[in-house]
Amino acid sequence: METNDKINLLSVIIFLVMGVLHLISPLIYGTKFDTTGLIVFGIIYTLLGILVQIKKENKIIGILSILCPIIGVILGIISLLPVLDAF
């Protein structure tokens, strides 16, 4: 197994685990406006994990697999700002 294949497999595993964790978290926290983002990004991460495995050489999928987690982190931090302001 080449290095690129190992990195590809690792990213698929990480995306699928993140996707599943995002999708089951509303079961714990309940479905509210805050958790709808978790559902949306859970679907996106799961689909990206599948697409990275199927289309290994597609550069658009590679770019999306970099941009989507960055956008998710930024939106997550923005959604936490009102909670941090309460302290």
Say what the pLDDT of residue 87 is.
Answer: 66
pLDDT by 10s per residue, the chain, length 87: 788 788 888 999 999 999 999 999 888 888 877 788 889 999 999 999 999 889 877 888 888 888 999 998 998 888 888 877 766
Say what the pLDDT of residue 24 is.
Answer: 93
Question: Helix/strand/coil (H, E, C) string of 11-57?
Answer: HHHHHHHHHHHHHHHHHHHCCCHHHHHHHHHHHHHHHHHHHHHHCCC
Say what the pLDDT of residue 31 is.
Answer: 81
Say what the pLDDT of residue 79 is.
Answer: 83
